[in-house]
Amino acid sequence: MPTPAFHAVARVLPDKGPMRVLAGATFLNTIGTGLWITGSVLFFTRSVGLSAAQVGIGMSVAGFVSLAAGLPLGHLADRFGARRVVVVLLTIWAADTAAYALVHSFWAFVIVICIDSVAGAGASAARGALIAGLFAGAERVRVRADLRAVTNLGISLGAVGAGFALHADSRTAYLGLVFADVATFLFAAGGYLLLPHLPPTHTTSSQGSPWQAARDMPYVGVTVLNGLLSVQYEVLAVALPLWLAHYTSAPRWTFAPLLMVNTIMIILLQVRASRGAQHLAVAQRAVLRSGWAFAGAALIFLAAHWASAAFAVLVLAVAVVVHTIGELWQAAAAFGISFELAPAHAQGQYQGLFGMGMGLAQTVGPAMLTLLTITWGPPGWIIVAGFFLLTSHLLPPAIRWAERTRVVQDQVAVA
C-alpha cells in the first residue's frame, strides 16, 4: 500500500510517459556530469600528469571546436531522426570518456577532450530536436524547465559523489570517477531508446539547406545576443568566488552555500518561472526583467566590498538570490525563443545554432568577467551591470525581427 512518502515523491516526479523517460535519462547523465566537472581537473593534473596550463589550453581548444559542431550535428538529427542521433552521440561520448583512462600526453588529451566537447554539443542539439518532436507549444517549455531542474539536482548529487574520489586522491579513485561517468552515458542512452521513434524531419532538398539556420540572420542575431546575456551564468561560477576571496571580508567557505542557494532555487522555481514563455511576447518581457535583475545583482555584489565580514555574507546572499531570479527568467525566455523561432523541419540545426550562443558565453565570459571585476576591481561591476541592461534591451527587438521574418517564411512555404 503506497505510503504518504510515496505520494509526496510521486507529486514532484514528471508526468508518466516520454517526459518521465527524458527526466530519468537526463538525471542519470547529469549525475555523471557532476562527477566529471568536479573531479576532472584534478584527474588530469594529479593522475594523468598534465600541468594546470595544459589543462586550461586543452579545454579552451575544445570549447572553440565545439562551437562549430552543434549546427551540423543538429542537422543530422533532422536528417536521420533525433532519437537515433542522441543515442549514437551518447554512445560515442561514453567511449571517448573511457579513453581518458589511456591518456598520458598533452596531445592525446587535446584529441580526446575535443571529441568530448563535439559529442556534447551534438547531443544537446539533438536532444532539443527530440523535445521539439515529442512535444508542442507550452509543453516544450515545461519539459525544458523540468529538465533544467533535474539537471541541477543530478549535477549536485554527482558533485557530492566526486568528493569521495577527491578525498582518496589516487589513480584508482580517479579512474572510478571516469568509468562511473561512462556508465551514466550508457544508462542514459538506454533510456532514450525507450522513447518513441521520431522519423526524420528534413528529408528533401526542398526543405532547405543543412546551413539554413546559419543563413537566417535574424535568428543568428537572437542567438548572439542571448549568448552575450548568457555570460550571466559565469558570474556565479567565475566572478563570485574570485570577488569573494579578493575583494570582500566574507569567509571563503561561504561560496559553497551561496552556490547551493542558486541550485535550490532553480530546482524549486524553474518550472513556475517558465509558465507562458512559449509566447514570444512573454519571453521578451522575461528577458527585460532578467536584465534588470542581473544589473541589480551586480551592484549588490559591488556593495559587499565595503561590508564587514558578517554583513558581507548577507549582502552576497541577497545578490545571489536576485541574480538567480534573473537566471530563472532568462532561461525560461531562452526555452521559448529557441523553439518558437525555428522551423519545424530544421529544429535540430536551429537548436544546434542556438546552443552555440551558450558556447560563446562559456568562451568569452570567464575572461571578460575576470578582467572587469577582478583586474579592474569595484568599478568593473558597474560596467557589468550596464552590459546586462544593454544586452537585455537589445534582445527583444531582435526577437521581433526574427518573428516577422519567420511569419513571412511560413507564408511563402504555405503558398
pLDDT digit string, tens, across residues 45-93: 889 999 988 988 888 888 888 888 888 888 888 888 889 999 999 999 9
Q: Is residue 196 part of a domain?
A: no
Residue 143 corresponds to which amino acid? V
Rounded to the nearest integer, the mean pLDDT of the chain is 89
Query: DSSP string covering 181-223, please?
Result: HHHHHHHHHHHHTTSPP---S--SGGG--TTHHHH-HHHHHHH
Same domain assignment for residues 261 and 393? yes
Percent of the chain with pLDDT over 90: 61
Neighbours of 215 (CB within 10 A): 10
170: in domain: yes
Give the confidence band of 201 by pLDDT, cuts at 50, 70, 90.
confident
Q: Is residue 3, in this structure, part of any structural domain at all?
A: no
Q: Would 349 be classed as within a structural domain? A: yes
In a domain, 323, yes or no: yes
Same domain, 218 and 179: no
4 located within any domain? no
Inform me whether the pLDDT recorded for 266 exceeds 80. yes
Q: Which of 17-21, 345-349, 398-402 is predicted most confidently?
A: 398-402
DSSP output for 367-401: HHHIIIIIIS-HHHHHHHHHHHHHHHHHHHHHHHH
Q: How confident is residue 200, by pLDDT bands cut at 50, 70 and 90?
A: confident
Per-residue pLDDT at 394: 98
- Residues 149-166: pLDDT tens digits? 999 999 999 988 888 888
The predicted model gives 245-264 an average pLDDT of 91
CB distance 34 to 162 below 8 Å: yes
Range with lowest mean pLDDT among 197-201, 258-262, 402-406: 197-201
Secondary structure (3-state) at 137: coil
Q: Are residues 301 and 174 in the same domain?
A: no
Q: Which range has highest mean pLDDT (10-19, 100-109, 131-140)?
A: 100-109
- Domain span including residue 259: 212-414
Q: Is the pLDDT of residue 357 over 60?
A: yes
pLDDT in the model for residue 6: 45
Please tell me the total count of domains within the chain.
2
Residues 40 and 86 in one domain: yes
Q: Is the pLDDT of residue 137 over 90?
A: no
pLDDT at residue 193, rounded to an integer: 93
Q: Is residue 235 scored above 90 in pLDDT?
A: yes
Clarify whether residues 227 and 112 are in a common domain: no
Identify whether residues 182 and 262 lie together within a single domain: no
Q: What is the CATH number of the domain that holds 370?
A: 1.20.1250
Query: Are 155 and 246 within one domain?
Result: no
Q: Are 176 and 249 in a shared domain?
A: no
Among 191, 220, 235, the domain boundary falls at 191
Q: Would residue 22 count as lying in a domain?
A: yes
Question: Do 162 and 276 fall within a single domain?
Answer: no
Residue 163 inside a domain? The answer is yes
Does 244 score more than 80 pLDDT?
yes
